[in-house]
Amino acid sequence: MNTTTQATPAAPENYLSINNIEVIYDHVILVLKGVSLTVPKGKIVALLGANGAGKSTTLKAISNLLHAERGDVTKGSVEFKGTRVDQLTPNELVKRGVIQVMEGRHCFAHLSIEENLLTGAYTRGNSRAELKQNLEMVYHYFPRLKTRRTSQAGYTSGGEQQMCAIGRALMAKPEMILLDEPSMGLAPQIVEEIFEIVKDLNSRENVSFLLAEQNTMVALRYADLGYILENGRVVMEGDAKELASNEDVKEFYLGLSSAGRKSFKDVKHYRRRKRWLS
């Protein structure tokens, strides 16, 4: 999985790190119960887990988008390149190189694809020439967007919208993209296409990714490292390949196992055991 060749700086572990964060919505709903994770520079890290595990909440806690949803980080810290970023506005964070691609894509429906991409450069205040150059870079990775550049984003396909959302984030020239469920509602070959591009961006543009996915199998194939989240806690972490071949993961997240599919009761038992362990 080691396609990245660039030399990592002295403390690669401290690139992006979340330390024991707790998130509460509406002052009462405790959703993250002490999540810690790190993204080393130049890596793709998958954040896995079932519906409602807290993947999106974790990403929004990093990008400071929780506030708009009446969520608060009540404990813990987030650091990027050695400095705390938890008190920054999304605007400041984007300027420092961390940007989120939200779940469900959220393209600007009434803007054309190209206008969508241009809004992504808002924080940079690029010159015309730079904008053009960045657009070409995005079109290079997403040739489909070029053919649809004048279409209203709201009328393009789900895959094109996902590409548009990623391309829009790229226009901000980020070092790190927080990508939430890129595979949501897309046909398998489109999912592959998008993950291939993510991998490409990772190795050629040096963009690190923290990738929230329900599609465990695909995500682990493209990721370097993985974390499994359950009920607001990290229950497993490790090398993506190892996770993918781990019997427990296979059984309960991929639905495959040597002994065939186990019953739901076993799953529950497993989960309870896992919770005790964590």
Ligand X SMILES: Nc1ncnc2c1ncn2[C@@H]1O[C@H](COP(=O)(O)OP(=O)(O)OP(=O)(O)O)[C@@H](O)[C@H]1O
Verify binding: residue 70, other proteins, rule CB under 8 A: yes
Q: Are strands 71-80 and 16-25 parallel, antiparallel or unpaired?
A: antiparallel
Rounded to the nearest whole angstrom, what is the least distance from the CB of residue 209 to other proteins in the complex? 16
Q: Which of 75, 81, 106, 262 binds other proteins (CB under 8 A)?
A: 106
Does the protein bind ligand X through residue 214 (CB under 6 A)?
Answer: yes
Name the token pair of 99: 């940007």
Between 11 and 267, CB nearer to ligand X: 267
**In the complex, minimum distance from the CB of residue 161 to ligand X, in angstroms, rounded to a whole number:** 17
Q: If binding is defined by CB under 6 A, does position 57 make contact with ligand X?
A: yes
- Site residues (CB under 8 A) for other proteins, limited to 141-160: 152-156
Farthest-apart Cα atoms in the chain, separation: 61
Q: What character string, x for contact with ligand X (CB under 6 A) and - otherwise, covers 18-37? A: -------xx--x-x------
What ranges in the chain are assigned the alpha helix state H? 55-63, 90-96, 113-119, 128-141, 143-147, 158-170, 188-204, 216-222, 240-245, 247-249, 264-277
Cβ atoms of residues 207 and 6 within 8 Å: no
Please pick, from the candidates 38, 123, 134, 215, the single residue that binds other proteins as defined by CB under 8 A. 123
Q: 172 and 140 in contact (C-beta within 8 Å)?
A: no
Q: How far apart are the C-alpha atoms of 234 and 33, rounded to whole Å?
A: 9
CB of 194 to Mg ion, least distance (A): 17
Q: How far apart are CA 184 and CA 103, in angstroms?
A: 8
Smallest separation, CB 52 to Mg ion (Å): 8
Q: Which of 66, 115, 105 is nearest to 88 (CA)?
A: 66
| Residue tagged 């391309």 (tokens) | 167
User: Which residue of 4, 100, 183, 202 would you call a contact of other proteins, by CB under 8 A?
Assistant: 100
- By CB under 8 A, name the binding residues for other proteins: 63, 65, 68, 70, 89-91, 93-95, 99-102, 106-111, 115-116, 118-120, 122-123, 125, 152-156, 161, 168-169, 172
